Structures are given as C-alpha cells and as structure tokens.
C-alpha cells in the first residue's frame, strides 16, 4: 500500500510539472554564469520535460505554437551550410554552440503547454534575477580584489566588472530582469521588496558594466514602463519602477563617472572619417568599419554566403585585406547578427532571422503581451551591435526565454480560438 501511494504521489508530482519548475528555476539561475556552468542545467531541464506525462503527444489545435519552428529552420540552414564549407571543424563547433536554437523550441513544442503559464514565470524570473545578483556579487568581489592590488578605479569597470560573460550580455540580462519584475506584477510583499532590492543593486552595477547597448536598453525599458504606467493610470508605480531605478543609476554614475566616457567616445566617433576610425581601436569605430567590409563580403555571395564553417575565416581575411588591424587580431565576428547571418548563409538566413523576430513582435503587440514585446525589442536591438547568436550567452538566453514566452502567448491564443 505504501509503495502504491508513493507511486501515485510521484505520478501526481510529475503530472503537475514540479520537476519542470525546479529544473527551470535552476537553469534560469545558472544563465548569468556563462558557458561553463549552463550546459548541465540545460540537460536537467530538457530531461525533466522528457519524463513529464504527455511529453511528445501533439496538442491540437497546434495554432500559433507551430511558429516555434522558426528557430529550428534557422538552425537547419546552418546544417545545410556545411555543404559549401571548407572549414568543417569550425562549422561543427558552430552547430554545437547553436544547438539550443533547435533543442529549446523542439522540447517546448513537444511538452504539455499547461506547464508554462504566468505562475511558472513567477518562479522562473526571481531565480533568474537572483542568478544575476549572485554573478554580479562574485564579479564585484574579484574587481575589488584587483582594486586592492592596483589601486586603480578602472578595476571596477567594463570587462573587469563581469568575469562570467561579456558585459553587453550581462547588461541585457539585467535590463530584461527589471522589466520582467514590473510586468509580472508581484504582490507587494516581503518577497517583492527583496526582489526589488536585488534589482536596484543590479541597476547600480549596470553603470559599472559600461555597456553602451546596455545603457540604451535601460533607457528604452524605463521609457516603456513609464508609458505603460501612464496608459494604465497606475501613477503610484512611477516612484517604484521609474524614479528609483533612474536615481540609482544616476547615483552610480556620480560615484563611478568613468563609464560615461565610453558613450562620449562612441558619439564623437560617429562623424569621423574611415581613415581616422581605422586607427582608434575604439569599439564603436571598429563596428562601423566591420559592418562596411562585412556588407561587401556578404554581397559577394548574396544567396549562399560563405558557408557555416568559413564565415570566420573569410571575415578575418577581409579585415586583413582592408587594413582593419584590431578586428583581425581579435578575430572578431561581424558584431551585428543580421550581418553575420547574411555573410554566413546569405539572404535565406537573413529572411528567416527577420521573420523569427517580426512574427512574435507583431503577435505580442496585437495581444498586448508586453513582456514578450519588450523581450523581442531589447534582444533585437542588442543583436544590431553584437552577433549574439554566435555566443552561448546570447543563444541560450534567447532560445530559452523566446520559446517559453512564445508558448505562453500561443497557449492564450489557442484557448481564445477554442472558446470561439
């Protein structure tokens, strides 16, 4: 009898998706810790989906859920790109890195949609926020240790402030976490104020990360929150989600003013000549030159691209031919995901990538699912200046959150259709 009861208890536990919640929280927490620590948690999460009752049974009607396959199509184009690739080893490595673009949409498609709802998000987002906080604290401790040795305030800035991933990615994580905390409308409780305190600390640290894209994303999210608050006439929230974060960021800029120099330098380089830009070594200047030569490289093979494995070799060769010293030495990618995809696999990859953003953006706006809308816009903006689907920190973040938010949105659409 005891054994039978235990079996029923385990079955009920699995049926409720408790294992999905736990492993999903662990994965969300691990995301800010980079490529070394994330893969085991991806495996745990996917296994938890496989053992869930109902996994693999196609839900009908499929409705909007079928659009999850836009990312797998993009991934399969990279598989196809091996056919005209010389550097097969790099191509296979690229496919391994991009595997999340195939796995997350596929597993979310096969998993029962009932596991993924607002209640699930309210467990995942705090875990993600806490992961960002812990990773930032650890990075801050290392930066402080460096400062004690060097007595140089620059020990707290830019790459020194983030030991697990590039600052652009961590900045994007923090900005998304800020909006997610607002959008999920947690009840004002001790737990909420704990999460809000963590968020304010992350906003303070955002200045130290010195990411220009991160600052612009932060401004956009604050503007989006303010606009939504004004539309809904919930004016009391302005103090919490607009005034406090802005004041904290300004306070950080006051105590650590050097970060603003990167933005000033970026603006001053926009009007420089190409000859001057080529000698600066400044990141914005490098990007401007990289985009120009990458575009010319893409236009040389507009329908097939260089091939999945040859894109990096061809970009470096192009940098050398055009005298771009810094990008060639650092073996930089195109620093724009749309340009990177165009160079690698031509117009077909560019079209699929654009559609994978336009469709959910359009549907989320129509359904007023603003969390998804802001997620798409923030990530879409960031990939204009970083090739984020070439690095695990960008790929896993996008594949996981995009698949989750799309399933939640699609589930709402399907339920509406069924009621009609």
DSSP string, 81-127: GGGG-S-HHHHHHHHHHTTHHHHHHHHHHHS-GGG-SHHHHHHHHHH
Residue 6 predicted with pLDDT over 60:
no
- Phi then psi for 359, rounded to 5 degrees? -60, -55
Q: Which of 184, 61, 89, 166 is nearest to 128 (CA)?
A: 184
Average pLDDT, the chain: 89
Question: Could you give the percent of the chain with pLDDT greater than 70?
Answer: 88
Position 65 confidence tier, pLDDT thresholds 50, 70, 90: confident
Torsion region of 56: left, alpha or beta (phi above 0 gives left; psi -120 to 50 gives alpha): left
Q: Which of 365, 364, 349, 367 is nearest to 406 (CA)?
A: 364
Position 10 confidence tier, pLDDT thresholds 50, 70, 90: low
Q: Which of 329, 328, 353 is nearest to 339 (CA)?
A: 353
> Would residue 199 count as lying in a domain?
yes
Predicted local distance difference test score (pLDDT) of residue 5: 45
> Would residue 231 count as lying in a domain?
yes
> Would residue 228 count as lying in a domain?
yes
Contact by Cβ (8 Å): 130, 29:
yes
Question: Could you give the percent of the chain with pLDDT greater than 90?
Answer: 72
pLDDT (tens digit per residue) in 149-203: 888 888 788 888 899 999 999 999 999 999 999 999 898 899 999 999 999 999 9
pLDDT (tens digit per residue) in 33-44: 988 899 999 999
Using CA atoms, how far apart are residues 128 and 33, in angstroms rounded to an integer? 11
Count of the separate structural domains present in the chain: 1
Q: Residue range 316-340: average pLDDT?
A: 94
Using CA atoms, how far apart are residues 392 and 30, in angstroms rounded to an integer? 13
Predicted local distance difference test score (pLDDT) of residue 417: 43
Give the residue with greater pLDDT, 260 vs 37: 37
> Would residue 172 count as lying in a domain?
yes
Using CA atoms, how far apart are residues 38 and 33, in angstroms rounded to an integer? 7
Predicted local distance difference test score (pLDDT) of residue 259: 65
Task: Give me the domain span that covers residue 240.
Answer: 2-266+335-419
Using CA atoms, how far apart are residues 330 and 87, in angstroms rounded to an integer? 19
Predicted local distance difference test score (pLDDT) of residue 167: 94
Residue 363 predicted with pLDDT over 90:
yes
Position 261 confidence tier, pLDDT thresholds 50, 70, 90: low
Residue 98, both tokens: 């991009």
Radius of gyration of the chain (CA): 22
Predicted local distance difference test score (pLDDT) of residue 13: 59
Using CA atoms, how far apart are residues 138 and 140, in angstroms rounded to an integer? 5
Predicted local distance difference test score (pLDDT) of residue 273: 47
> Would residue 271 count as lying in a domain?
no
Residues 6+ apart with CB under 8 A from 146: 152, 155, 160
> Would residue 290 count as lying in a domain?
no
Using CA atoms, how far apart are residues 336 and 287, in angstroms rounded to an integer? 9
Cα-to-chain-centroid distance, residue 77:
21
> Would residue 81 count as lying in a domain?
yes
Give the residue with greater pLDDT, 205 vs 420: 205
> Would residue 319 count as lying in a domain?
no
């Amino acid at each position: 009898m005891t054994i039978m009861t235990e079996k029923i208890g385990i079955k009920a536990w699995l049926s409720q998706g408790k294992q999905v919640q736990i492993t999903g929280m662990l994965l969300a927490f691990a995301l800010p810790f980079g490529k070394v620590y994330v893969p085991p948690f991806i495996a745990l999460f996917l296994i938890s989906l496989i053992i869930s009752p109902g996994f693999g049974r196609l839900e009908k009607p499929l409705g909007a859920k079928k659009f999850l396959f836009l990312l797998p199509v993009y991934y399969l184009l990279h598989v196809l790109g091996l056919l005209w690739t010389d550097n097969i080893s790099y191509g296979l490595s690229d496919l391994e890195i991009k595997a999340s673009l195939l796995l997350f949409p596929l597993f979310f498609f096969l998993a029962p949609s009932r596991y993924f709802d607002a209640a699930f998000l309210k467990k995942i987002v705090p875990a993600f926020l806490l992961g960002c906080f812990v990773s930032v604290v650890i990075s801050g401790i290392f930066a402080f240790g460096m400062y004690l040795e060097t007595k140089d305030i620059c020990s707290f800035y830019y790459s020194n402030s983030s030991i697990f991933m590039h600052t652009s990615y961590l900045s994007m994580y923090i900005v998304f976490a800020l909006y997610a905390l607002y959008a999920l409308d947690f009840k004002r409780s001790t737990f909420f104020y704990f999460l809000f305190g963590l968020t304010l600390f992350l906003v303070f640290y955002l200045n130290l990360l010195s990411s220009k894209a991160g600052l612009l994303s932060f401004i956009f999210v604050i503007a989006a929150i303010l606009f939504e608050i004004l539309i809904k006439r919930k004016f009391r929230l302005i103090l919490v989600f607009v005034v406090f974060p802005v004041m904290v960021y300004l306070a950080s800029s006051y105590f650590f003013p050097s970060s603003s120099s990167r933005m000033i330098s970026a603006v001053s380089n926009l009007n420089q000549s190409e000859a001057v830009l080529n000698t600066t070594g400044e990141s914005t200047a490098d990007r401007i030159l990289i985009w120009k030569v990458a575009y010319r490289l893409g236009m040389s093979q507009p329908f097939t691209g260089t091939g999945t494995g040859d894109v990096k070799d061809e970009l470096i060769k192009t940098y050398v031919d055009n005298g771009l010293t810094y990008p060639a030495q650092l073996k930089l990618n195109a620093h724009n995901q749309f340009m990177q995809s165009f160079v690698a696999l031509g117009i077909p990859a560019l079209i699929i990538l654009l559609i994978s953003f336009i469709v959910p953006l359009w549907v989320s706006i129509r359904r007023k699912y603003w969390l998804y809308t802001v997620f798409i816009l923030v990530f879409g903006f960031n990939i204009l200046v970083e090739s984020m689907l070439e690095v695990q920190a960008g790929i896993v973040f996008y594949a996981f959150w995009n698949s989750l938010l799309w399933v939640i949105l699609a589930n709402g659409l399907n339920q509406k259709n069924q009621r009609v």
